[in-house]
Every structure is written in C-alpha cells, then in structure tokens.
C-alpha cells in the first residue's frame, strides 16, 4: 500500500510571504525538512498541493512559481527530502479551476499516477481549504499546523475544524503521522 502526505506549501513548509515569487525569499520553518524526512523514511510519498493565485491575478508568472519551487526542492534536499511531485493551481479564486483547493482533484491525480491509497494518507496545511481538500478526497487524516494562518484559524473558528488534528508545527505533525 502506497501512502502519502500532502502538504500545503506557504505557511506550512515555508514561511508565509504575501504572494511569494522570489526564490531568495524562501525560508523553511525550523525543523520542516527533518519532519518531512521522517515521514519519507517511514515510507510515505511526499507531495505539495498549492494554490498560487498570484499567477491568475497577474502578480507573477508560472515561471516565478517554478523558480520558487526549485529553491524549495534544493533546501529540502539538504535534509535528504525528495518530493514526488508539486501540484500547482495558478488560477485566481474567481477563475474556473479544475483543481484549486479545496478541490480534491490533485489528490485524485496523485492517487492515479502514483498508485496511492488515499484512505491511509494525510493532508497537512495551515488553512481551512487545505483540510477541506483532504476531506473532499476522502482522507480521514487531516492536520492543521499553527504556522502561517493556522493559529488564527484555530483560535477564531474552532468549530470549522471538524475532525482535524491541530498541532503547532510540522515536527508535531510528523509525530502524529508516525504515531
């Protein structure tokens, strides 16, 4: 059985920057690489699922997103982390989109391409749309990290979190995934 962990990018693995589009501004949260490595070493396939509406809004290009992602891959590689794939939804919220979160489409795409068992997989993010993406794909295991926007969400709208597990950071998320 192939299991996966799907991560949001901004505010989850790297520090939230308003419409991040410069590779030099990529900053991993402390311990993020080590947390992903633990999941990888336990046999989970790792993916990023990210809405990048700045492209659809005309604030930056898909090439900018690819350069940021390349920098992120280089940073994670220092910890021995290898992502299977990064899925990007470049549309603005008001534009038609096949896979913009909370759509589960990218999780279904990964399931089909990498022969994943979604029932045993996890979604980790800092926004409600990340959790909804996981739930919409049938994942029972969704984690909200208090990094990025997660702390505000957990404080202001706890009733919306449903069965989500709430943790401080990716280290604690990895602890729960591997428990």
CB count in 10 Å sphere of residue 42: 12
Q: How far is CA 137 from CA 14, 81, 169, in A?
A: 24, 25, 23
Q: Which of 8, 64, 126, 130 is catalytic?
A: 8
Asked if 169 is an active-site residue, the reply is: no
Closest to 87 measured CA to CA, from 19, 103, 58: 103
User: Are the beta carbons of 5 and 37 closer than 8 angstroms?
Assistant: no
Asked if 8 is an active-site residue, the reply is: yes
H or E element in which residue 87 lies? strand 85-89
Please list the active-site residues: 8, 10
């Amino acid at each position: 059985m192939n299991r996966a962990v799907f991560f949001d990018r901004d505010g989850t693995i790297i520090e939230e920057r308003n419409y991040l589009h410069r590779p030099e501004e990529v900053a991993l949260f402390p311990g993020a690489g080590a947390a992903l490595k633990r999941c990888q070493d336990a046999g989970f396939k790792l993916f990023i699922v990210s809405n990048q509406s700045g492209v659809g809004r005309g604030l930056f290009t898909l090439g900018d997103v690819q350069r940021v992602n390349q920098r992120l891959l280089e940073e994670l590689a220092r910890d021995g982390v290898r992502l299977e794939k990064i899925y990007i939804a470049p549309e603005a919220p008001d534009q038609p989109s096949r896979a913009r979160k909370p759509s589960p489409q990218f999780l279904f795409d990964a399931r089909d391409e990498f022969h994943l068992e979604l029932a045993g997989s996890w979604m980790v993010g800092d926004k409600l749309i990340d959790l909804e993406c996981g739930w919409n794909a049938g994942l029972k295991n969704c984690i909200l990290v208090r990094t990025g926007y997660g702390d505000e969400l957990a404080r202001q709208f706890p009733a919306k979190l449903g069965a989500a597990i709430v943790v401080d950071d990716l280290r604690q998320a990895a602890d729960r995934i591997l428990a």
